[in-house]
Amino acid sequence: MFVRPTNPISHRLARIAFILATVGSLIVAVSGPLHRFLGLDIEAAIAVFRYGFYLTVAGVALGLATILPARPGDRRRGSVAAFLAIVIGAAGAWVPLHWFLQAQHRPAINDITTDTATPPPLVATAQLRRGAPNPPTYPKDNAALQRAAFPDIEPVTLAVPPAEAFKRVERVATALDWEIVARVPADGRLEAFVISPWFGFRDDIVVRVRPQGTGSRVDIRSKSRIGEADLGGNVDRVRAFLARLKSEG
């Protein structure tokens, strides 16, 4: 009579690694929708995100530790589970790790503008920020931090009158899929907001157009409603706007 051998410990550990990596990746993935669609408090959602990351790392570590002992062969099954644990865990841990690395290399600011001396004020979007942790005012300490980290963020000068410059600003804002909430050509002001696709974070934007000589000067400001640091989201948005505006003809 044939008696099937029991699985070795390495095989069972490989399966545990697969479970840890899969569950951890799922937890990381749902942390954003829990906040965006179900209204889970952001601190709780970030905690879910963080502990999901811990599980994925544990799964990868255990997978690496068991992939060789669990390699295919006599009573040595489980290499597939260990391999999948490494792949799935690495995929699930990538975004948290990427965010962590960004936080280490970018200043802890959430307000970016091309005019740090007299930044464009939030007017219409200030009404949308009621109850938001970050006030609409421009932080005094931001200017020095921004200039040191992002010296390329500067206003754009266009060789067209303000009315034409404002039309260009509108075209760029529409092309970038901003949710425009205010168009005030008389003030040279356009305001909008954007929603991040995963966590649903909202950032407010104001663009200001003013005459400068025979042309126009365009300034932009992008500010997060929550979070001490934006992980570069606002500066990337400002850069995308400036680049597109410069290419508008």
pLDDT tens string 8-31:
788 889 999 999 999 999 999 999
pLDDT of 6 > 50? The answer is no
Contact 191, 122 (CB under 8 A): yes
Phi, psi of 208 (to 5 degrees): -120, 130
Q: At 4, is the pLDDT very low, low, confident or very high (cuts 50, 70, 90)? A: very low
Residues 169 and 184 sit within 8 Å (Cβ to Cβ): no
Least confident of 101-110, 125-134, 168-177, 200-209: 101-110
Largest CA distance in the chain: 97
Please give the average per-residue pLDDT across 61-75, as a whole number: 73
Give the residue range(s) of CATH 3.30.530.50 domains in the chain: 111-247
Percent of the chain with pLDDT over 90: 82
Give the separation between CA 181 and CA 54, rounded to whole angstroms. 40
Identify the H or E element spanning 86: helix 79-105
- Judged by DSSP in three states, 223 sits in strand
Does the structure show a pLDDT above 50 at 74? Answer: no
| pLDDT given at position 70 | 56
Does the pLDDT at position 5 exceed 80?
no
Tokens linked to 12: 């069972």
Task: State the chain's mean pLDDT as an integer.
Answer: 92
In this structure, which CATH number among 3.20.20.70, 3.30.530.50, 3.40.50.360, 2.60.40.420 belongs to the domain 111-247? 3.30.530.50
